[in-house]
């Protein structure tokens, strides 16, 4: 599997994501935000967590207009895989690759802790390593993780089985307890929690490992 991880000014989880990809067996290339093209034959693009461009304007808004995001949008439009984690989810929402928006946490405070996530679907390359209904423990670290979409969008996500993860105890006010969603073709995942921070026993947990291994299994033969 060939993975590319985009790096923006202010990214702070790009190396963590690259290490998680590599541990699952992927070849990883880091891509600077001012680059105009993704690597050839890339299987999946990772949009990492952090505070791209200092979270000015809106979280992810400036990053979404970086030159590389035009290539990211083209990649997903033609059916390419992508994962956006935390700030990366915000970028995917700002580009329109995924629906909805990430608002300020309901409590108006930055939250950094491990939370319980319920796996809502195993029908994707990202979640096939789990069983629907599993509860996993994954860290969060965000100030603007409150997922919002209108009623019709929420209903569509539910009806199409596109909600990947929900919070067992909603920490930020997200509608329908949403922690992660899938694109219509199920090849793009955006999630606020950090599976790359739960992929090494030395860091306190390994519940995120199955996500990266599942991706490797799904995309390596491609």
In angstroms, the CA 19 to CA 77 distance is 27
Strand partners, 136: 117
Catalytic residues: 86, 194, 196
What distance, in Å, lies between the first and last C-alpha atoms of the chain? 8
In angstroms, the CA 8 to CA 32 distance is 7
Q: 3-state DSSP call for residue 82?
A: strand
In angstroms, the CA 45 to CA 1 distance is 11
Strand partners, 143: none
């Amino acid at each position: 599997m060939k993975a590319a991880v985009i790096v923006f000014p202010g990214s702070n989880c790009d190396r963590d994501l690259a290490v998680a990809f590599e541990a699952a067996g992927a070849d990883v290339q880091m891509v600077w935000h001012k680059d105009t093209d993704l690597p050839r034959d890339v299987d999946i693009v990772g949009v990492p967590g952090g505070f791209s461009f200092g979270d000015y304007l809106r979280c992810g808004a400036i990053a979404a207009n970086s030159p590389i995001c035009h290539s990211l949008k083209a990649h997903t439009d033609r059916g390419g895989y992508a994962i956006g984690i935390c700030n990366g989810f915000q970028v995917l929402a700002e580009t329109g690759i995924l629906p909805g928006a990430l608002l300020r946490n309901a409590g108006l405070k930055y939250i950094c802790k491990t939370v319980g996530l319920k796996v809502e679907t195993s029908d994707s390359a990202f979640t096939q390593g789990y069983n629907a209904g599993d509860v996993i423990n994954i860290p969060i670290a965000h100030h603007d993780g409150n997922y919002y979409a209108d009623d019709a969008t929420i209903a569509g996500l539910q009806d199409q089985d596109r909600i990947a993860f929900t919070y067992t105890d909603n920490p930020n006010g997200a509608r329908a307890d949403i922690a992660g969603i899938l694109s219509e073709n199920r090849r793009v995942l955006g999630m606020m929690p950090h599976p790359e921070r739960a992929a090494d026993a030395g860091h306190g947990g390994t519940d995120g490992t199955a996500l990266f291994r599942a991706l490797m299994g799904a995309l390596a033969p491609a």
